[in-house]
Amino acid sequence: MRILVEVFTNRAILAAGAAWAAAQLLKVFLTLVVSRRLDISRMVGSGGMPSSHSAMVCALVTAIGYREGFTSSLFALAFGFACVVMYDAAGVRRSTGKNAAVINHLLDGLVGNGFTFNEERLQELVGHTPIQVCAGALLGILVGTLIG
């Protein structure tokens, strides 16, 4: 039981979770403002503005920096982890979303010409633009500073 208490009172974990939740709530709010529709699924969906992955890892890095020191090996490890996550969000995952959009478009054209396809469409909103990653990173740094 003591371990659970320690995990759920760990400031770095709290900062990471709070930053993720804040980013996901912002996605719901921004969808409401921009698209004029309430889409609660944005609370758990990937992709979009801001990047919750970036917010989470930057809050974690920031909280670790304040707790352990910005010259610590633990901070360096967390920083490297954050760089990989953000690169992946804006690079590999963004390309995956673009590929899914092209495949869905091709399938739409084929289905219209008598081709049958019973699978569901590929998810297109999986990655982030560099601006979405930066916005998430700034949100994470803010939350990590406040909580860490």
Domain ranges for the chain? 2-87+130-147, 92-126
Query: What number of other Cβ atoms are within 10 A of residue 29's Cβ?
Result: 12
100 backbone dihedrals φ, ψ, rounded to 5°? -60, -40
Residue-level pLDDT at 66: 97
Distance CA 24, CA 139 (A): 11
pLDDT at 92: 62
Q: Report residue 48: phi and psi, to 5°.
A: 95, 180
| Residue 12, number of CB atoms within 10 A of its CB | 22
Q: Which two tokens stand for residue 133?
A: 């990653």
pLDDT at 62: 98
Average pLDDT score over the chain? 85
- pLDDT of 145 reads 97
- Asked if pLDDT for residue 83 goes beyond 90, the answer is yes
- Which pLDDT value is given to residue 12? 96
Give the model's pLDDT for residue 46.
75
CA distances 18 to 8, 13, 25, 26, 108, Å, are 12, 8, 10, 12, 39
Confidence (pLDDT) at 33? 87
Closest CA to 48 of 123, 105, 106: 123
User: In the block, which residue shows the tokens 């919750």?
Assistant: 52
Closest CA to 17 of 64, 58, 56: 56
pLDDT at residue 114, rounded to an integer:
66
- What pLDDT was estimated at residue 102? 66
| pLDDT above 80: residue 132 | yes
Question: What digits encode the pLDDT tens for the residues 23-51?
Answer: 999 999 988 888 888 877 777 877 788 99
Q: DSSP secondary structure string, 18-76?
A: HHHHHHHHHHHHHHHHHHSS--GGGGT--SSSS-HHHHHHHHHHHHHHHHH-TTSHHHH
